[in-house]
Structure 1
Amino acid sequence: MGFTFGNYDGVCKEVALIVCPMLGSDLGIEAVCYSRNVEINSTIIFQPATCFIHIAALIMTAIMVYHIRSKYTAVGRKEIVLFFYLYAVSEALAIFLDSAIIPTYSGAYPIFAAIYVGLGTAIYWCLLINGFVGFQFAEDGTPKSLWFLRISSIVLFVIGFLVSIGTFKSVGGLSPQKTTGLFVVQLVFPVICVAIYVISQVILVIRTLDDRWPLGDIAFGCAAFVAACVLMFGFSAEICVGVKHYIDGTFFGTLCLLFAVMMVYKYWDSITKEDLEFSVGSKQNVWEIKDPLLGPNDVDVVGPPSLSTHESSYGRHNASSGKLTPGSFNTSSGKSSGYPPSGPTNYGNSPY
């Protein structure tokens, strides 16, 4: 690949990026080799294999978000979940753009492509900020921490969107032939954010944690990110020719990026512990409280009221209220079984 800083000609000829149809000439920049298309109900679907990876990414993201939200007291839980929300929205949008369900010739395509670039900018910025949550510059989960992350992510999204739409529409000194701004926003900025995130997390693990296993998660994530970049921008055409146009570098790049995102979750999960003292469970446990004043076979059951009554030495379990009611009437014997006795007590025959 002929790589020139700020120029998309070599990049788009190697791999079919979402922005490539909007750059260069009016027809865009076409890749030398790209995967085969399929026709479904008179609709041509581009990159079908890559679309399956996008769908798998949505499923995996939903699973990771569920597990993150279930760790109620973990550090940085609310901050890291925003990263996965943004990633999920980006993957959902990529399904329609990569497959050309939104046609490249339509007026909506440049807008959605600009939104996609803006989301990518916000995703990597959110990852960068999450790298500093563990240093506790601001207490995690507080409005100060959350709103700084949200507002700054929105600002970076707007920057990415404006640079992209300005490049597509030739606004503000930008044009499809002048792509330096878009090149920096889409390709250079993510690499910088990932590098800063990795360095900060290595420092965090070495300085604050006794366990060194999280470094393995960081290493696997870095390897996946590097593999995605190399396969997409370095060997996409070679892969496409080698497998006879069935897939190209976009497939492996999307797959490796998904693995890198999974390693981000795995790393966060390995350095955060759930505080069980303050955690909230979804199951109702039934606790058995053994009173030393009771006999060896007498047990009070504290829990949700059941349909059956429970007899104890103090009284009868009231099924309607779930409580032990003193002086309850035993319907089976016609006598009171509670304490104190409800009827008159004859002390005349007592030997005392």
Structure 2
Amino acid sequence: MGIQFGDFTSLCETTALVICPLVETQFGVSPDCYSRNVDVGGFLFFQPSTFFVHIIALIMTTIMIVHIRSKYTAVGRKEILMFFYMYMGIEFSAIFLDSAIIPTANSAYPWFAAGYTGLVASTYCCILINAFVGFQFAEDGTPLSLWSLRISCFLVFGASFFIAIATFKNIAGFNYTHPIGLWIVYILWPLICALAYLISQLVLVFQTLEDRWPLGDIIFGAGFYGIGVAILIAFSNEICHTVVHYIDGVFFFHACMLLTVMMIYKYWDSITCEDLEFSVGNKAAVWEVKDPLLLGSSSELDMEMEMPLNLSAHSSQYGGYPPSPSSP
């Protein structure tokens, strides 16, 4: 199978993407093999296995968000939170689109698919900007940093949403038979952002950090991402036929994307773990606990505390020696 620039035909014949029912032809492009459907009370439930991956992704993302929110002083905490919120939005939207809760024949489907496309593009923009937070071009957590991130993601979302819906509806010079703009937004832009994030974090680790252990998180994350994309565009049909339509490449793609996001969290957590040191000085406080019961009664303790004072008071008078009991 060969992938051509601006052409979704070969890709949609291999895997069931969200936009495939809306491009290339009036009725879209159907995959050669797709995950079997499940009849639930007369409703055909598409991609049931992928549905459970989306649910697990929402649960895991919630746990990661809670952990990130607890790291009050971590570098780039608010910026990375936005990425995880947007990823959660992608998974929530995919539940309705992949599972055909919103049928492809429904008039609302193109609008939800366009929103999904815009959210995916803006999420990649968010992780791309997060890649440069560690270089401190702008102080993290400040209005400049946060609003730059928000405005950039909003602009990318708006542009991608417009390109997608204009392609689906054949307006403003866009056409679903030649979806070049949509191909750039949906395929090329995510790959560029992922590659830029990988390169920038490698530079950050080698030039800024003394610890090399975060490299493992980066390598594993890149590996999961590459495996997911490869399965989606090259091996989806083979997997689908091998397991008799129970699962297809979409299932493995979303599972690998979840593992990639988890590695991004693990990497971010590993390079910001020391920011939770709430010390206010350079020297640690020294605490010494003495139990009076171990030193004897209170009178004995008072005598031990007063003795050095008595010795110093009489040392000069008696030549540095304590007076005898018979001394006047």
Distance in 1 between residues matched to 2:44 and 2:277, nearest whole Å: 52
Query: Any idea what SS the aligned residue of 1:235 has?
Result: helix
Quote the residue 2:292 is aligned against.
296
Structure 2 partner of 1:61: 61
Alignment deviations for residues 69-104 of structure 1 (CA, whole Å, 9 cap, x no partner): 000100000000000000001100100000000010
Q: Give the match's secondary structure for 2:44.
A: strand
Match of 2:72 in 1: 72
Structure 2 partner of 1:285 = none
Q: CA deviation at 1:43?
A: 0.8
Question: Displacement, 1:276?
Answer: 2.5
- Report the number of matched residues: 287
Q: Distance in 2 between matches of 1:36 and 1:151?
A: 41
Q: In the TM superposition, what are the counterparts of 1:226-245 in structure 2 within 5 Å? A: 226-245=226-245
Deviations 1:159-217, CA, capped at 9 Å, x for gaps:
11001001100011111101110000010000100111111100100011111010111
- Aligned equivalent of 1:131: 131
Give the conservation status (yes or no) of the 8 Å contact 2:24–2:179: no
1:142 CA displacement: 0.4
Structure 2 equivalent of residue 175 of structure 1 = 175
| 1:73–1:278 Cα contact (<8 Å) kept | no
Indicate the residue corresponding to 1:11 in structure 2.
Answer: 11
Letter in 2 for 1:62: T
Q: Could you say which residue in structure 2 is the equivalent of 1:49?
A: 49
Query: Residue type matched to 1:74 in 2?
Result: A
1:152 matched to 2:152? The reply is yes
Q: Which has the higher strand share?
A: 1
Identify which range, 22-31 or 77-86, moves more after superposition.
22-31
- Which 4+ residue blocks in structure 1 deviate beyond 6 angstroms? 289-292
CA contact (8 A) 1:23 1:176 kept: yes
Instruction: Give the C-alpha shift of residue 277 in structure 1.
Output: 1.4
2:106 alignment partner in structure 1: 106
TM-score scaled by structure 2?
0.85
Identity rate, percent? 53
SS at match of 1:101: coil
Output the CA distance in 1 between the equivalents of 2:29 and 2:167. 14
**Could you tell me which residue of structure 2 aligns to residue 306 of structure 1?**
none
- Residues 23 and 168, structure 2, Cα contact 8 Å, conserved in 1: yes
Deviation at 1:28, TM superposition (A): 1.1
Which residues of structure 1 form unaligned runs of 5+?
280-288, 298-352
Alpha-carbon distance between aligned partners in 1 of 2:89 and 2:61, rounded to the nearest angstrom: 10
Q: State whether structure 2 residue 276 is matched by structure 1 residue 275.
A: yes
Note closer, same or farther for the CA distance 1:98–1:290 as it changes in structure 2 (3 Å cut). same
Aligned-partner SS, 2:276: coil
Distance 1:183 1:28 in 2: 15
**Partner letter of residue 130 of structure 1?**
N
Within 5 Å, give how 1:247-286 maps onto structure 2. Answer: 247-273=247-273, 274-277=275-278
What amino acid maps onto 2:115 in structure 1?
I
Aligned position for 1:338: none
Amino acid corresponding to residue 81 of structure 1 in structure 2: L
RMSD: 1.6
Task: Report the secondary structure of 1:234's partner residue.
Answer: helix
User: In the alignment, residue 202 of structure 2 is paired with which amino acid?
Assistant: V
Q: CA offset at residue 275 of structure 1?
A: 2.8
| Greater RCO (CA < 8 Å, at least 6 residues apart) | 2
Structure-1 residue corresponding to 2:319: none
Shift in Å at residue 278 of structure 1? 6.3
| Partner Cα separation in structure 2 for residue 140 and residue 25 of structure 1 | 46
**Residues 202-213 of structure 1: pairs in structure 2 closer than 5 A:** 202-213=202-213
1:44 is paired with a residue of what secondary structure? strand
Distance in structure 2 (CA, Å) of the matches to 1:229 and 1:65: 25
CA-CA distance at 1:106 after TM superposition? 0.7
* Counterpart position of 1:324: none
- Distance in 1 (CA, whole Å) between partners of 2:27 and 2:181 is 21
Letter in 2 for 1:67: H
C-alpha distance 291-256 of structure 1, shift in aligned 2 (>3 A)? closer
Q: What does the per-residue CA deviation read over 1:204-233, in whole Å, with 9 as the maximum and x for residues that have no partner?
A: 000111110101110000011110110000
Distance across 2 between alignment mates of 1:291 and 1:68: 36
- Compare the two structures and name the one with the higher helix fraction: 2
Q: Counterparts of 1:259 and 1:177 in 2: how far apart (Å)?
A: 34
Instruction: Name the CA distance, whole Å, in 1 between partners of 2:289 and 2:204.
Output: 49
What are the Cα deviations for residues 128-186 of structure 1, in whole angstroms up to 9, with x where unaligned?
00000000000000010001001110100011100100110001111110111000001
Shift of 1:291: 9.6
**Which residue identity lines up with residue 276 of structure 1 in the other structure?**
E
Name the SS for the 2:292 alignment partner: coil
Partner amino acid, structure 1, of 2:111: I
Q: CA deviation at 1:272?
A: 0.5
Instruction: Quote how far apart the aligned CAs of 1:26 are.
Output: 2.1
Structure 2's unaligned 5+ residue stretches are 281-286, 294-328
Q: Give the TM-score taking structure 1 as reference length.
A: 0.79
